[in-house]
Copies of this chain bind each other. A is one copy, B any other.
Amino acid sequence: MTINFRQLRYFVALADTLHFGQAAARLHISQPPLSRQIAALEEELGVALFKRSTRQVELTAAGRHFHEQALRIVDSLNTAVRSTQATARGELGVLRVSFTSFAAWSLLPPLIRAYSDAYPQADIQLNEVLPRELNDTLISGNADIGIAFPWQRPPGLEYLPVYAEPLCAVLPQGHRLARKPEIAVGELAAEPFITLPAATAPALHELVIGCCRDHGFEPHIRLETHLQQTIVNLVAEGLGVSLVPQSMSKMQLPGAVFRPVSAPRLVEQGVVWAGSNDNPCLTGFLACARDFGALAQARGGATAAQP
């Protein structure tokens, strides 16, 4: 099979014009090579595609059939070239995002919105994971990007800070401090705390503890659990108080009230990815994330500095 795209293009031109001279002009070649390529094509197919005299050229039944096919094939190639180039630019393809449930309350939705607007043709696969699973999904190549708190990253993973927000207090509804519109952190000194475990979320654990220390006391930790969401659920049950990222206040749970605190620490979030990952969609996503971070900072939001 030595049929060539050139022969297909030549054939299509001739089938369109039914005139060797005009078709050759359209192809920017002279007439003899066109005659020869068509003859070669018919020879290879073993089929007469044109019925021609020196005065008239017309398609045979087989020629009409081949014309349809050739148009489709030439178009397929053009489409394939364009879509491959789009894939290389990261405009087409699949981006797999791993995130913990907290991200779904805060950074994930606007970031996905920004990426989706910038790359409307890329497919996005969202994959909710537990905090401890996030690194593995990236290292094993099961995900392209993760949304995470800063953390001690394993070798091979990169991190880009995107957004920071203040901590706020979460209290049981009937609590005496819940009547105040804003709370000084020091007022929580005697309360039982519910926090994330130091082992799996050291940075965030440290942040809460540090915030308390800023205000002169060591919190009494009564319970530890992995998800911010669960902390709020436990607070609503009256089991203690906590300091959580402000985004969690979107969670309107009966029994839990959120209050801003004076002089809060900031919780940073960012995106994580494997440095060896060469998915072009990732590059596009990182550009979006950078833009998003810059925008959040420009809007007066408290964004962490670039690394």
Could you list which residues of chain A lie within 8 angstroms of chain B, going by C-beta atoms? 1-6, 45-49, 51, 60-62, 65-66, 69-70, 72-73, 76-81, 83-85, 87-88, 92-93, 278-281
Contacts and interface: CB of A to CB of B under 8 A. Distances in A.
Nearest to A72: B76
A205 to B, nearest CB: 38
A51 B279 CA distance: 12
Nearest to A49: B84
Tell me how many chains of this kind the complex includes: 2
14 contacts: A1-B81, A2-B6, A45-B85, A46-B85, A47-B84, A47-B88, A61-B88, A65-B87, A66-B87, A72-B76, A72-B80, A73-B73, A73-B76, A73-B77
A264 to B, nearest CB: 42
Contacts of A47: 84-85, 87-88
Contact of A66 (B69, B80, B93, B281): B80
A66 B84 CA distance: 6
A contact face: mostly helix, strand, loop, or mixed: helix
Contacts of A79: 69
Nearest to A63: B84
A69 B65 contact: no
B278 A84 contact: no
Given A5-B3, A5-B4, A51-B278, A92 B65 contact: yes
Given A4-B4, A5-B4, A48-B88, A83 B61 contact: no
Nearest to A68: B80
A123 to B, nearest CB: 12
A276 to B, nearest CB: 11
Contacts of A46: 85, 88
